[in-house]
A and B are shown apart, each in its own frame.
Chain A
Amino acid sequence: EVQLVESGGGLAQPGGSLRLSCAASGFIFSGYVMNWVRQAPGKGLEWISYIGSAGTDIYYRDSVKGRFTVSRDNAKNSLYLQMNSLRDEDTAVYYCVRGNNGYDPWGQGTLVTVSS
């Protein structure tokens, strides 16, 4: 079964840091591009970051550039999102998603709350 499981969410103070992880299973992880997508409470979906299959092509939305860093370890079938200088508006459920021609599957998400 193709599966993505996110972890690492929690409570962080404004200006703080968190590192999210996404464990992939059931498919050849190294053969797929990956993305992070977030959803603020009661709001819509927002694309955050893209990373190519080899980890060399990387893109971010403007609001997180310079603060978030996406990476992957194909040997460990894992995707990461290092989030620094967190802001209140970063509060959301963060999903890792596979692919680029329609995101599928989606993990269950991990909740990040930024609050003092």
Chain B
Amino acid sequence: QSVLTQPPSVSGAPGQRVTISCTGSSSNIGADYDVHWYQQVPGTAPKLLIYGNNNRPSGVPDRFSGSKSGTSASLAITGLQAEDEADYYCQSYDSSLSGSVFGGGTKVTVL
């Protein structure tokens, strides 16, 4: 049971927009701690996709965007492409646990 809750899977056709939710609580996202997102292609190490809620590292396409409100955050992928098939994880800090926490991960399938 992850501290941050994500849907197990989402899917969309090429070119469509999909969103992944990340729901936390008053001790993590709701306490105004930043949310970060990672992309993990099967068999490879995770890669930072969004940091500080809505910032893209250099090299990450602007098709990826992040937002945060209250105790939740979201990752949006617009113009879905076949190469976007991967697992996506949200991450934040939890003051009750005094450590970093991850969501359970969401598998994105391009139909």
Q: A interface vs B, CB < 8 Å?
A: 35, 44-47, 50, 59-62, 95, 101-109
Contacts and interface: CB of A to CB of B under 8 A. Distances in A.
B101 A107 contact: no
B103 A44 contact: yes
5 contacts: A44-B105, A45-B105, A47-B91, A101-B34, A108-B45
Contact of B100 (A44, A47, A62): A47
- 6 tightest A-B contacts by CB? A102-B51, A47-B100, A104-B48, A102-B36, A106-B45, A44-B105
B99 interface: yes
Nearest to A62: B97
A12 B99 CA distance: 27
B97 to A, nearest CB: 7
B89 interface: yes
Contacts of B47: 104, 106
Given A102-B36, A103-B36, A45 B48 contact: no
Given A45-B46, A108-B45, A50 B100 contact: yes
B103 A47 contact: no
Interface in B30-44: 34, 36, 38
Interface string B54-65: 000100000000
A104 B51 contact: yes
A47 B51 contact: no
A60 B98 CA distance: 8
